């Protein structure tokens, strides 16, 4: 199949499997840099002579950078061919990683983190559009899932290994490794992704016009609310597992790895299921997530049931991502790059509100298990909004 520069398909990519692999490598590097500092806050605080809460801004500041950068960077690059956009974003990511690695002060570290964060949302937003063009229509959700495998593997391998490197070779060492991974991914997509001139519809006015559709805003709200429940609980998993379940602190990394395996499994299952039935998959996984969050309120008191529930939460939580991402692309059909990036921002906004409300529950004295039922309520609201929107549309 010949690739037309102005055509709407990229299925003619000579090596779509390798191209998807390189996109996953980029996703792995980006996912690792997002959470690797969570295990290095004490080291950062000691090195820069600051408090741990202030050091925590390397995490929350990154998430805020994703929320702001995803739609902004995508809008600024909408006139460019998407391959060039992805290459430029990875260059920005590498620069951000290097700035973080050589940062002489905490302020410069934050600059590096924000630069990397600006790449994050735009890369996954534009990347989701690109990878769906590499495969036949019936495999689009699976293609998105394959790209996000890198993000899920970052939680299983990247973050623990990055924490190990930071603890034994200094906190700067993970950023050098992340920069190297980013370079490998950049070279891969530069060599393997097919060139494609932008669609005639890919201009800023056309991309912005989709936000006049109520269904786009509803889809973004469903993403934020539906996914927020998972992070409402997971954001406080360490104190919950230690103080409620009775695990030792040294066991927590293994529990996080098990949770990460659940993310990988759920991402693959969710992608295949969404290819068969998009809306059924979305409703089913959000309903299961709300159910397991509610159950976790009780199973968190017992070790084996807690471990099983934690794993299943990872499966159904990330199993919803391909469907949620495909839905925004469906309702924004015709000009979806900016809407796709906005949905990545919505995921991160969901993380923000989830952690906030979970913290409120604990601060109010409702115990360390309260984020579970609070998260169940948030996800249920997202599910109810999605069902209501479909009925109104029909």
Instruction: Summarize pLDDT for 18-60 with one digit per residue, the tens.
Output: 888 888 899 899 989 887 876 676 788 888 888 766 776 787 7
pLDDT band at 2 (very low <50, low <70, confident <90, very high): very low
Joined together, the tokens standing for residue 229 give 């429940």
CA–CA distance, 149 with 322 (Å, rounded to integer): 11
Which pLDDT score is estimated for 104? 93
Joined together, the tokens standing for residue 225 give 């609310």
Dihedrals phi, psi of 104, to nearest 5 degrees = -80, -10
pTM of model > 0.75: no
Which pLDDT tens digit goes with each residue over 322-361?
Answer: 888 888 878 777 556 677 778 888 888 887 788 788 888 8
Which pLDDT score is estimated for 208? 72
Helix H or strand E segment including 98: helix 82-102
pLDDT greater than 50 at residue 1: no
Give all domains of the chain, ordered by start, each with its CATH number: 13-198 (1.20.1250.20), 201-394 (1.20.1250.20)
User: How far does Cα 47 stand from its chain's mean position?
Assistant: 29
Of 120, 125, 89, 117, residue with least CA distance to 328: 125
Which pLDDT score is estimated for 179? 95
Which pLDDT tens digit goes with each residue over 165-212?
Answer: 887 888 899 999 999 999 999 998 888 887 664 444 456 676 677 777
C-beta separation of 315 from 262 below 8 A: yes
Question: Which residues, 6+ apart, have CB-to-CB distance to 153 below 8 Å?
Answer: 24, 28, 31, 260, 264
CA–CA distance, 136 with 138 (Å, rounded to integer): 6
């Amino acid at each position: 199949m010949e690739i037309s520069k102005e055509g709407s398909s990229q299925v003619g990519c000579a090596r779509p499997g390798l191209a998807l692999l390189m996109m996953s490598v980029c996703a792995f590097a980006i996912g690792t840099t997002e959470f690797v500092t969570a295990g290095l806050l004490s080291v950062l605080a000691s090195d820069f002579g600051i408090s741990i809460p202030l050091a925590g801004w390397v995490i929350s500041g990154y998430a805020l950078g994703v929320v702001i950068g995803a739609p902004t960077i995508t809008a600024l690059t909408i006139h460019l061919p998407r391959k060039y956009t992805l290459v430029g974003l990875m260059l920005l990511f590498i620069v951000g990683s290097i700035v973080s690695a050589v940062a002489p002060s905490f302020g410069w570290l934050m600059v590096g983190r924000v630069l990397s964060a600006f790449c994050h949302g735009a890369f996954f937003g534009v990347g989701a559009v690109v990878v769906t063009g590499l495969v036949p229509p019936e495999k689009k959700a699976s293609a998105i899932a394959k790209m996000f495998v890198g993000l899920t593997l970052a939680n299983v391998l990247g973050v623990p290994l990055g924490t190990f490197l930071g603890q034994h070779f200094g906190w700067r060492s993970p950023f050098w490794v992340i920069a190297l991974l980013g370079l490998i991914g950049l070279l891969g997509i530069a060599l393997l992704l097919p060139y494609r001139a932008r669609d005639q519809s890919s201009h800023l006015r056309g991309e912005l016009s989709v936000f006049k559709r109520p269904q786009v805003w509803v889809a973004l709200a469903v993403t934020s609310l539906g996914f927020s429940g998972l992070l409402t609980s997971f954001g406080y998993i360490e104190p919950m597992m230690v103080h409620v379940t009775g695990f030792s602190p040294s066991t927590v990394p293994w529990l996080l790895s098990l949770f990460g395996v659940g993310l990988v499994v759920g991402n693959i299952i969710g992608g295949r299921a969404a290819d068969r039935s998009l809306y059924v998959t979305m409703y089913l996984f959000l309903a299961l997530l709300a159910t397991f969050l509610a159950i976790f309120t009780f199973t968190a008191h017992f070790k084996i049931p807690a471990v099983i529930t934690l794993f299943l939460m990872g499966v159904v939580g990330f199993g919803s991502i391909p469907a949620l991402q495909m839905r925004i692309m469906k309702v924004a059909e015709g000009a979806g790059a900016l809407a796709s990036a906005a949905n990545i921002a919505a995921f991160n906004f969901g993380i923000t509100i989830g952690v906030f409300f979970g913290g409120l529950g604990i601060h109010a004295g409702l115990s360390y298990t309260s984020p579970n039922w609070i998260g169940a309520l948030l996800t249920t609201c997202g599910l109810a909004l999605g069902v209501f929107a479909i009925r109104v549309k029909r």
